Amino acid sequence: MTFKEKVYEFAKKIPIGKVATYGQLAALAGNHKAGRAVGTFMKTNPYAPAVPCHRVVGSNGELTGYTGGKGIITKKKMLKNEGVVFKKDKVDLSRSLWKPN
């Protein structure tokens, strides 16, 4: 399985109400330094909605890089509807970060 395929497989596992960071997915897939590559994979995700790219955020909880609908506005609305907790415009990672087994 390629690095890219691993990233998509891990992203599929992010449950409703949780988020992962780009760096977290990169590390899970085997290259902790490839967070930017993960961002590119999410931007060009051919498997949405099975691979929920809207559930991937920056390492500080910032919403970045979403091109669906009205961009970041749509991403935030989708995450809030799923129960993700926010502090102002950032995801509260202490409450909504996915912790895989």
Which member of 28, 53, 56, 84 is catalytic? 53
Q: Is the dihedral of CA 27, 31, 35, 37 positive or negative?
A: negative
Whether 66 sits among the annotated catalytic residues: the reply is: no
Dihedral sign from CA coordinates of 83, 87, 89, 93? negative
Residues that are catalytic: 53
